[in-house]
Amino acid sequence: MRRSSFHNAVVTGACGGLGQALAQALIASGARVALVGLRTPVLDALAAQAPERCAVYRPDVSDALAVQAMAADWMARAGVPDLVIANAGVAGGFDTAEAEDLVVMRRMLEINLLGVATTFQPFLAPMRESGRPGALVGVASIAGWRGMPGNGAYCASKAGLIAYLQSLRAELRPTGLTVHTVSPGYLRTALTAGNRFAMPGLLEPDEAAGRLLAGVAAGAEHIVLPRRVGWLSRLLGLLPARLHDRILLGQPRKPRVGEAGATEIPGIEKP
C-alpha cells in the first residue's frame, strides 16, 4: 500500500514521546485523531490543536471492554479509521529471582502484548468491511530480537508482539489491510530517560514519528528506527552466544520498579 496521507487515525500511548509526536504529525496533516492515553493534560493539549477533529480517551489498553467502548465512540463520531497505531507500552528492569518482579512481568505483557491485540480487535471487522485500504501498526522494539540480561520481561513482551504481528499480517494478506511492525532502537523518551547504559543512534521522537508514518504510507512491513541500530543489532547477533552475552553482561542494567530512574508502570503500586 502506498498512500499520501491518512484521514482517520487512532493512536494509543499518545501522551508518550513517540505517541505524542505521531499524534502531532497526524493532527498537522489534517487527519481526525483519537488520542488514547493516561495523562489527561497532555492529551487535552494535543486535542486543543484541532478540537473539531480530535477526541481524548483514557482506557487501560489491556481492558478489552474499555477499549471496545472507546472504539465504538470514536467510530460513531468520526467513522472507521484507516490507521490504528498501537503504541502504548511500558519498560522496566526485571529479575526472576525477585518475587515482586513477577507482577511487573505480568503487567508488562498485559500492556505491551495483549494491549496491541485489544487495541486492534474492535476496529478490525469495520476496517475490513469498509472496503478501503487500512493500516494496523504495532510498535515493538529491537529488544524483541534477542533477550538481554536484566530486561527479560520487556524483551519477552516485544518478541511476543513481533510474532503476533507476523501472524496477523499473514491472516490479513487477502484483505485490503496491512500490518506494520515497528522496531525502534533508542528514542529520547521517558522510557529511556533512566537508562544507565550507552544508547547508540539515539533518535528524537519527532524524527522517529516522521520516519514511521512515511514507512507505513510506503507499505513497509518492517520499520526499524534508526536503521543503522538495527544493522548493529544484527551484527552483534552473529557473534557466538557466549561472547554476545559477555558483552551485554558488562553493561549497566535498566532500573527495576522502585529503583532510582525507573519508569512508572500503570497498574503497579510503588513500593
Residues 58-83: pLDDT tens digits? 999 999 999 999 999 999 999 999 99
Instruction: Tell me the pLDDT tens digit for each residue of 87-99.
Output: 999 999 999 999 9
Active-site option among 57, 154, 164, 186: 154
Q: Are 6 and 26 in contact (CB under 8 A)?
A: yes
The answer as to whether 75 is a domain residue is yes
d(C-alpha 185, C-alpha 177), whole Å: 26
Lowest mean pLDDT, pick from 33-42, 78-87, 201-210: 201-210
Confidence of residue 200 (pLDDT cuts 50, 70, 90): low
User: Hey, which bits of the chain come out as E strands?
Assistant: 8-12, 32-36, 54-57, 83-86, 134-139, 177-184, 222-225
The answer as to whether 270 is a domain residue is no
Mapped onto helix, strand or coil, the DSSP state of residue 187 is strand
CATH of residue 186: 3.40.50.720
The answer as to whether 260 is a domain residue is no
Phi first, then psi: give them for residue 188, nearest 5 degrees.
-80, 85
- Give the domain extent around 39: 8-249
When comparing pLDDT for 107 and 252, which is higher?
107
Provide the domain count of the chain: 1
pTM for this one? 0.90
Element (DSSP H or E) covering residue 35: strand 32-36
The answer as to whether 254 is a domain residue is no
Residue 250 per-residue DSSP state: T
Reply yes or no: is the peptide bond before residue 174 cis, omega within 30 of 0. no
The answer as to whether 2 is a domain residue is no
Instruction: Tell me the pLDDT tens digit for each residue of 161-177.
Output: 999 999 999 999 999 89
The answer as to whether 184 is a domain residue is yes
Q: Are 138 and 158 in contact (CB under 8 A)?
A: no
Q: Are 61 and 118 in contact (CB under 8 A)?
A: yes
The answer as to whether 20 is a domain residue is yes
Tell me if residue 186 is catalytic.
no
pLDDT at position 15: 92
Q: Are 19 and 35 in contact (CB under 8 A)?
A: no
d(C-alpha 137, C-alpha 217), whole Å: 11
The answer as to whether 201 is a domain residue is yes
Mapped onto helix, strand or coil, the DSSP state of residue 56 is strand
Q: Evaluate if residue 127 carries a pLDDT over 50.
A: yes
